[in-house]
Chains A and B, each alone.
Chain A
Amino acid sequence: MTGAERHGGCGPLSGAFAAELLEDAPCGIAVSDPAGRLTYVNATLSAWTGRHAAEIETIGGLFTKAGQIFYDTHMEPMLLLQGYVREISCHLRGPNGPCPVVVSAVARHDEAGAIVRCDYTLFDARERHGYESALRHAQREAEDLAAIVRNASNAILRVGEDGHVLSWNRGACTLFEEDEKSGIGKRIEDLVALQDRSSWHAEGRLQLSKGPQEELLFEARDQHETDLEISLTLAMSEPGSGTARDTVVTLRDISERKNVERHLIDLAREMNSRVSTMLDMVTGIARQSLPPEIAGEFISRISVLARTHDMLSSNRWTRVDLHSILNFALSEAGGPERFRFSGPAVSVSPQQATCLSVALNELVSNALQHGALSRPSGRVDIEYDLATGEHLCIRWSERGGPVVVAPTRAGFGARMLETVLARDCDAKVDFDFQPEGFRCRMRLPLESGI
């Protein structure tokens, strides 16, 4: 097909056809003299700018102010020096605001090599601009994330399905005291040889691949006695791929924290031992120096404290089951025939445990000496519940004992009960001296204390 046929068989490019082609081209076309003064602007470009061709004096004047600076400082020098510019992104000053365009230009020379004019084409780049903006945004996000990983103090490694290291960050170089390349390709289980867990990575992978767990987090020691916190997650090899998966292994050296923890445990053990020794000494001194009738009761109270202390120590001073405390009281009271309790599983804070142990000991002592447990047929029932969900309510009921007469003044036990429970546990204590049996109601907030 000849050129003539292509444009309608009207012979070589006719003046009218060429003019139409130029004026209505699907791109902006402009021509300037070597100094940038416009000598031609086509209709398309004129329409884009919303100005008549004659109103636009210079090529720089087509652009927004920022675009003008960019033209003056970048485009024009390039055009004059190298003779062309290609696909430069810029903004036209349009009637409705900036309009993204891509500019290409070429300088035309005379026979002597001097520039005689410059020809410009400008393409509408609104779609491309939107796409590139999104791309730049995504690129920045990816760079930010990469920088976070790169500079993280934790060692972060990507490990292939076969357990070999694919890449690692600076934190890993520091942890393993290796350079950036030397760890690549090594087996992660050789690099991080955990004591007693030689296949930790393979086993972790298997566990994760079965789902639904997304991360495995555990602490372990390696062959160099370094304490590590290890996190294992699965990473898609390719976005959207559901099959072949690498793992991301994050290692944090927690030796320092572990050493502090070990030191604290040693300290706590030492403190517990010293408290026990101290209570033994108090008991010994009481036995030696107090009259027998007072010493017995005093030593009993101290031994309750010592026993509770031992229980809490062995439980690492965390919350304890109320049943354990009640079982102490049960053994003091003479066994399940004489002492029964019922209620849901409840744990109490170490502070509450100590107070309740002391309180129950006082109640059992009193029942044994003066109340229901002083008679073979007498017994004690304890019921407790979490009626409101926020308070523990304990009801102590005696029956089968001698007729109860309300005391004219509160004894030491009653005073201690009220003082200890109210002061240290924010509890309310009510006594009810029914003739058929003494009753006591203790109500303490569950949240108080850890």
Chain B
Amino acid sequence: MSVITRNNVSEFGHGPAIMLAHGFGCDKTMWQHILPDLARDHRVVSYDLTGFGASDLDAYDFERHGSLDGHVRDLIEIMDTLHIDQATLVGHSISASMVMLAAERLGPRASGVVMVSPSPRFIDDPATGYEGGFSMEDIDGLLVFMEENHLGWSMQMAPTIAGQSPEAPEAVKLTQSFCQTDPRIARHFGRLTFHSDQREALSRSTCPSLILHCLHDTLVPQSVADWMQRNVPQSEVAFLDVSGHCPHMTAPDKTINAIRGFLDRR
């Protein structure tokens, strides 16, 4: 299977390349509100992380994808396959850390990194005074919700997928796309995401980066943005007066402006 099929890769526009990597619990459709604008003067590549969306679930390797490095390799393979010599890497949430790791690996092939709602570590670390915002119990609770809702999906949504639903086909497709992930993969990636600690990797970054932080993000408290501002070299922070964790969905205009500002300064 080709890398393009494996990761359900899509390409839009022409110009300097931008790679878009979605975060935990989502798929590439979450970029749909900002992608058309960026594609006006860029070659924009979006894809589903292996194991999510319409990617090849069989390609999810619990060993390879047991660390962010597996996803970094996937991203680089996509760039290689598409012969992209240089790109700005944009990642949301956990993929913000992932694209930063990829930039380190790519060296000059990464011209810049945009981190949308990044958090190098979600769990508090009392030993260093770091406030990620969550305890281990909170994260365990999240994994339970994922399991519960998967059960709900598998029991209730199966007839819908078989075509007995009055819902529009697009809606059904989206529901499937969001929920389709094998529950084992969702649990595995959930653990990886929320148990991950990328503070050291972000502190040694050498690639210019933009940090997009929503002022009312329950998932990423202000303390994390402050930490990022202090510790990520060559970074600039754009504070968006936006609620939630997905400014590219809830406030696409503000997000586009911030990204364009960063790209123009490069």
Residue of A nearest to B122 (CB): A69
Instruction: Write the residues of chain A forming the contact surface with B, with a CB cutoff of 8 angstroms.
Output: 34-37, 58, 60-61, 64-70, 72-74, 76-78, 80-84, 87-91, 129, 132, 135-136, 139
Q: Are B243 and A58 in contact (CB under 8 A)?
A: yes
Q: Out of B135, B219, B244, which one reaches A35, CB within 8 Å? A: B244
Which of B5-13, B24-32, B65-73, B195-203 lies at the binding interface? B24-32
With A58-B216, A80-B250, A89-B152 known as contacts, the answer to whether A69 contacts B142 (CB < 8 A) is yes
Residue of A nearest to B30 (CB): A77
Q: Are A34 and B250 in contact (CB under 8 A)?
A: yes
Residue of A nearest to B242 (CB): A35
List the A side residues contacting B137 at CB < 8 Å: 66
List the B side residues contacting A91 at CB < 8 Å: 141, 145
Q: Are A73 and B148 in contact (CB under 8 A)?
A: no
Q: Are B141 and A87 in contact (CB under 8 A)?
A: no
Q: Are A80 and B175 in contact (CB under 8 A)?
A: no
Q: Are B138 and A65 in contact (CB under 8 A)?
A: yes
With A74-B178, A78-B175 known as contacts, the answer to whether A36 contacts B244 (CB < 8 A) is yes
Residue of B nearest to A76 (CB): B244
List the B side residues contacting A66 at CB < 8 Å: 137-142, 144-145
With A35-B251, A82-B174 known as contacts, the answer to whether A76 contacts B141 (CB < 8 A) is no
Kindly state whether residue B147 has any CB partner on chain A within 8 Å.
Answer: yes
Interface size on B, residues (CB 8 A): 44
List the A side residues contacting B110 at CB < 8 Å: none
**Listed residue (B148, B175, B242) with the most chain A CB atoms within 10 angstroms of its CB:** B148
List the A side residues contacting B144 at CB < 8 Å: 66
Give the distance in Å from the alpha carbon of A321 to the alpha carbon of B214 in the complex: 91
List the B side residues contacting A139 at CB < 8 Å: 151
**Listed residue (B25, B32, B122) with the most chain A CB atoms within 10 angstroms of its CB:** B25
Q: Could you jot down 22 A-B contacts, CB within 8 Å?
A: A35-B243, A36-B244, A58-B216, A65-B135, A65-B138, A66-B138, A67-B141, A69-B122, A70-B146, A72-B246, A73-B26, A73-B245, A77-B178, A77-B246, A81-B32, A88-B149, A89-B145, A89-B148, A89-B152, A91-B141, A132-B151, A136-B147
Give the distance in Å from the alpha carbon of A74 to the alpha carbon of B150 in the complex: 12
Question: Chain A nearest CB: distance from B225 CB in Å?
Answer: 16
List the B side residues contacting A36 at CB < 8 Å: 243-244, 250
Kindly state whether residue B171 has any CB partner on chain A within 8 Å.
Answer: yes
With A70-B146, A73-B245 known as contacts, the answer to whether A35 contacts B250 (CB < 8 A) is yes
Give the distance in Å from the alpha carbon of A146 to the alpha carbon of B194 in the complex: 31
Give the distance in Å from the alpha carbon of A139 to the alpha carbon of B183 in the complex: 14
Question: Chain B nearest CB: distance from A187 CB in Å?
Answer: 36
Within 8 A of A (CB), among B196-250: 216-219, 242-246, 249-250
Q: Are B242 and A80 in contact (CB under 8 A)?
A: no
Question: Chain B nearest CB: distance from A87 CB in Å?
Answer: 6
Question: Chain B nearest CB: distance from A31 CB in Å?
Answer: 15
Residue of A nearest to B135 (CB): A65
Q: Are A78 and B174 in contact (CB under 8 A)?
A: yes
Question: Chain B nearest CB: distance from A36 CB in Å?
Answer: 5
**Listed residue (B29, B244, B246) with the most chain A CB atoms within 10 angstroms of its CB:** B244
Give the distance in Å from the alpha carbon of A139 to the alpha carbon of B151 in the complex: 10
Kindly state whether residue B50 has any CB partner on chain A within 8 Å.
Answer: no
Q: Out of A72, A81, A132, which one reaches B218, CB within 8 Å? A: A72
Q: Out of B32, B140, B148, B171, which one reaches A83, CB within 8 Å? A: B171
Kindly state whether residue B156 has any CB partner on chain A within 8 Å.
Answer: yes
List the A side residues contacting B55 at CB < 8 Å: none
List the B side residues contacting A136 at CB < 8 Å: 147-148, 151
Question: Chain B nearest CB: distance from A99 CB in Å?
Answer: 13
List the A side residues contacting B246 at CB < 8 Å: 72, 76-77, 80
Question: Chain A nearest CB: distance from B254 CB in Å?
Answer: 11
Q: Are A73 and B219 in contact (CB under 8 A)?
A: yes
Question: Chain A nearest CB: distance from B146 CB in Å?
Answer: 7
Q: Are A72 and B244 in contact (CB under 8 A)?
A: yes
Give the distance in Å from the alpha carbon of A82 to the alpha carbon of B170 in the complex: 8
7 more CB-based (< 8 A) A-B contacts, given A77-B26, A78-B174, A88-B152: A35-B216, A35-B243, A66-B142, A74-B178, A77-B25, A80-B246, A132-B151
**Listed residue (B93, B137, B171, B243) with the most chain A CB atoms within 10 angstroms of its CB:** B243
Q: Are B178 and A78 in contact (CB under 8 A)?
A: yes
Q: Are A37 and B171 in contact (CB under 8 A)?
A: no
Residue of B nearest to A64 (CB): B141
Kindly state whether residue B91 has any CB partner on chain A within 8 Å.
Answer: no
